[in-house]
Each structure stands twice: as structure tokens, then as C-alpha cells.
Amino acid sequence: MFIDKAVIMIKAGAGGDGAVTFRREKYVAAGGPDGGDGGRGGNIVFVADDNLSTLADFRYKRKYKAMPGTPGMGKRCHGKNGEDLTIRVPRGTLIRDNATGRIMADMSSGEPFIAAKGGRGGWGNTHFATSTRQTPHFAKNGAPGEELEVLLELKLLADVGLLGFPNVGKSSLISVVSDAKPEIANYHFTTITPVLGVIRMGPESSFVMADIPGLIEGAGDGVGLGHAFLRHVERCRLLIHIVDVSGSEGRDPKQDFETINRELEKFNPELAKCPQIVAGNKLDLATDEQRAEFEKFIKEEKGLPYFEIIAPIAEGTKELIDYTAARLAQLPAVRVYEPEPLPPEEIPDRRRRNEFTVEVEDGVYYIEGEWLMKILNKTDPDDYESLQYFQLVLRKSGVIDALVEKGIATGDTVDIYGLEFEYVP
């Protein structure tokens, strides 16, 4: 089964906690703090892999988590960094933030992409030693790793896309001009997955052609098979529109041409502006009048280049491919999607990370904030220096100023997640 979309949850590793240890050696008096820092958490890294062609591997495994950093140790030993988790995807996969649809990366090049960064390791108590605080009994916790849900969307990397109704000869054409071997049969929707073929023009000259499953009227609105694969022609630099000139299935060739282009316009107006070459197929079944009328329609009314072919026997295909190669040489490279910037409200902000609330109930001032809980967990209420450091954090982060704005007075009770103390200015 061809899977070209998947939603997965990724979580980078948390940083390891800093250590609270003291040097204890024989004949070394008052060795002092020697707690090491925690290790950095592992990143989530995406890498393009040419050996993959679909996103089928993500159908059953949807959660990916990198390793956390290990805690710091005594003797100033740094904790081990968490190992990065590498996720391999087919080349051409777009990585989007599933919540907003923002493009984070286009995995078209060989460059790895860090989608979620691991948390920083916490500082050991060595960092908090001063001339007046010589035995700090506290350290910093490691920071959590980034976590988000991402949408993986595969858009094939092809120079040329083949368009047309089912059973007009797209598979036959790609089979005779490339090494691709799609299934060919005289019934609709023989091709149910996109097929890529490499057309070699010389020792160092080639281009990639994509056979897209047949479109029908309403495909732009989700009807039929083709609508599911229209995204795979969005990167194409050139489109070859194949039409059954003979009308062997009771359709009008001119109407077929107009219908497919309307569906392109519905799906993506920019895609409808992509350069087109029209190939009239099944000439052996068409009358001279049908051939002449359709050629006049394409060349004179539409102003597009036109070639007549009989795909199964490769008649006229060389001229079509030679013109295609020459036209590609004049066009820009395959489209690469640029990452979209974060909205201003989502840009990490130190002030936002240190947000807190102050509520007053029955004369007690309750303070809450996620970051406060982490610091509180590392604070020893029975250790004077530890509490002193905690009060310094409250003052620098604006908590004390917020209490003053709320009208706190000397002797009032302050509660921070169950830790109560009297306010002393």
C-alpha cells in the first residue's frame, strides 16, 4: 500500500539533573561542593533516505522518544548526553507542525533536520558556591525536551508529471521511455500508486518522470483515485498531458483536456500554471479528421506544444522526450519548500517561560507556576542557604514585586505549592 501521509508524536529527551554532592576524602578538610552537571537530552533528527519510497513504516509506530541525559555525579563528573533518535523518511517528505500546518522542513536535500531539541542538563551544586555560600545543598533540574505532533507529507521529487484520464496511455508511455515497469491493462485505475521512471538522455543527463494515477472529473474535490496523488505533481517543473485522441471510451478529447485542467485549478491554482506539453495518444484508433481537429484545438486555441504518439509501440515518443528534455533545461530546478517562520506568539520567550500567577484567598497569597515547582523540588526547606537561593530566584523573577502589587504586608502568609512562609520585605 502506498502511504504518503502520517501523523506522529515526537519527544526529545529531558536533560539530566545536576548533582548535589560534596568532596569527601581523607586528609581533605571541608572539601566543598563537587556536584557535576546533568547531560543534555537527545534530539529528534529526521534524515532523508533514498531506500524508502513511502511512509508505510509510520502506520503502526506513532510515538518516538529520544533518550534523556543522565544526572550529574560527584567529583564534578558530567552526566552522559542522551543519544539522538534518528528518524528516516523518503526524500521529498515535508515535515509540518500538525497543530498549525506550518512547514518545518523539506527533506529534499541530504541535510539532517533537528525537529525537537533535547533539554539542557541541570547545573550541579558546584555552580552555586560563593564566598558566603560555601555548602549549597541544591542544584538545578534538567530542562524537559521539546515535544510536538508532526505531520509527514510525501511529495515526490519528479521533473515531469504525466496527467490524463484513466486508460489514456500514461503507464505505456513511461514503460517505453524509462526503466519503470508499471502494470499495464485495458481497464480503469490499473495504476493505483504513483510510479517514478528515470529517462536517461546521455552519460550525465537524465530527468525523472512520474506516472500519476488517472484523474476523473471531480478529482480536485476528492473524487476517484487521482485526488489522493495530486500533491505529487506539485513539485513537477513540467506536465505532459496525455489525451486519447480517438475518444475510444466515448469521451470528447477536447472536453477531457478541459476537465483535467479544471481539476488542477481546483486543487492548486499554481499547479494549473505549470508549463504543459500535450501528447495525443491512440492515433491508430483515431480518424484523420479527429487528429486534425484536436491538433488545431491544442496548437491554435490553447497555444501549447503538441505531439502525436502511439505509446505501446514507442511511435513519436523520441520526439516528445527530446522536446521535454530541451524544455526542462530552460526551467528552474525542482521546487523546494522553504521552512515557514514561527508566529510571533510562538517564539520562545524567557519571560513567557517564567510566567506565574498570584491569587489571594482568606489572606493567604498563593503563587503558582510550572517553573516554580521544578525549583521547589530542588529546594531543601531545612537548609538556610537553599532557602536563601530560592528567595533570590523569587526576587529576580518578579514574584516579590507581584506580591507587593497585590498589597502584601509584613507577616502575611505566602503559599507556593504547599510551602508556606511569612513575608518579610
Q: What is the pLDDT of residue 190?
A: 47
> What are the backbone dihedrals phi and psi of residue 271, each rounded to the nearest 5 degrees, phi first?
-65, -35
CA gap 22, 17 in Å, rounded = 16
How many CA atoms are closer than 13 Å to the CA of 48, on its beta-carbon side?
Answer: 18
Check residue 328 and give its pLDDT. Answer: 93
pLDDT on residue 353: 61
From first to last of the 425 residues of the chain, give the pLDDT tens digit: 467 789 999 999 999 999 989 888 777 777 788 999 999 999 999 999 988 878 888 988 999 999 999 999 999 999 999 999 999 998 889 999 998 889 999 999 889 999 999 999 998 989 888 777 788 888 888 888 999 999 999 887 889 988 888 888 888 899 889 887 755 545 444 445 678 888 988 877 889 888 877 565 554 444 444 456 677 778 889 999 999 999 888 889 999 999 888 888 888 888 888 999 999 999 989 999 999 999 999 999 999 999 999 998 999 999 999 999 999 999 988 888 888 877 665 555 544 566 788 888 888 898 888 778 777 776 777 777 777 778 888 888 888 888 888 888 888 888 888 778 888 87
Query: Which amino acid is it at 186?
Result: N
CB 60 within 8 A of CB 19: no
pLDDT tens, position by position, 193-212: 678 888 988 877 889 888 87
Residues 6+ apart with CB under 8 A from 364: 412, 413, 414, 415, 420
d(CA 131, CA 286): 97
> What is the rounded CA–CA span in Å between residue 268 and residue 154?
17
Q: pLDDT > 90: what percent of the chain?
A: 38
pLDDT for res 31: 76
Structure pTM? 0.71
How confident is the model at residue 224, as a pLDDT? Answer: 46
What CA–CA distance (Å, rounded) separates 346 from 194? 37
Q: Determine the pLDDT at residue 87.
A: 96
The count of C-alpha atoms lying within 13 angstroms of the C-alpha of 162, restricted to the half-sphere facing its C-beta, is 33
Task: Name the phi and psi angles at 114, rounded to 5.
Answer: -85, 105
Please, what are the domains in the chain? 1-155 (2.70.210.12), 160-328 (3.40.50.300), 350-422 (3.30.300.350)
Contact 193, 269 (CB under 8 A): no
Q: How far apart are alpha carbons 376 and 390 in whole angstroms?
A: 8
Note the pLDDT of residue 158. 84
